[in-house]
Amino acid sequence: MKIIVDDLSGIRIAEFLEEHIKDMKAISPPESKHALDLESLRQPDVTFWTVWDDQNLIGCGALKELDSRQAEVKSMRTSSSYRQKGIASMLLQHIISEATRRGFRRLSLETGSMPFFEPARRLYAKFGFRYCAPFSNYKEDPNSVFMTREL
């Protein structure tokens, strides 16, 4: 398996992200959907990675710079056929390492509060993320959970 920086120009990643957005719309009310679309992920303050198993796209994740000291984990997703195989852990460790290498002092994220997101919350807690107040432009939302960790 390999993790590569992705320029988001391929049809496979577009379809993978469309599935992600579709899932988030099905689970979260519109006012609580914070998943970034393709154009939002193509911004200069975002680095986007894909995970590949040979020719199979199996995961993705992004790092969004909030300011010189803080970044945000975005768009974490693992293909359903590869869940529970350590892909998300491998990718999250990669993002944490890259954020540390870039000199960020804090890494934060928003995820859902619903049962569907429990595996994600457990993953983030395993990597040292703790619950926190909303950060950046987020507001209190019963459908959102905010987590952060020092780097």
Supply 14's token pair.
């577009």
Identify the burial level of 139 via C-beta atoms within 10 angstroms of its C-beta, where 0-12 means exposed, 13-18 middle and 19 or more buried.
exposed
CATH 3.40.630.30 fits 2-150, yes or no: yes
Domains of the chain by residue range: 2-150
Q: Are 92 and 111 in contact (CB under 8 A)?
A: no
Q: Are 99 and 71 in contact (CB under 8 A)?
A: yes
pLDDT in tens, the chain (151 residues): 999 999 999 999 999 988 877 877 778 776 776 778 889 999 999 999 999 999 999 999 999 999 999 999 999 999 988 988 999 999 999 999 999 999 999 999 999 999 999 999 999 999 999 999 999 999 999 999 999 999 9
Q: Are 73 and 79 in contact (CB under 8 A)?
A: no
pTM above 0.85, yes or no: yes
Instruction: Report helix, strand or coil for 36.
Output: coil
Q: Are 20 and 106 in contact (CB under 8 A)?
A: no
How many Å is the maximal CA-CA distance in the chain? 41
Strands 130-131 and 106-112: unpaired
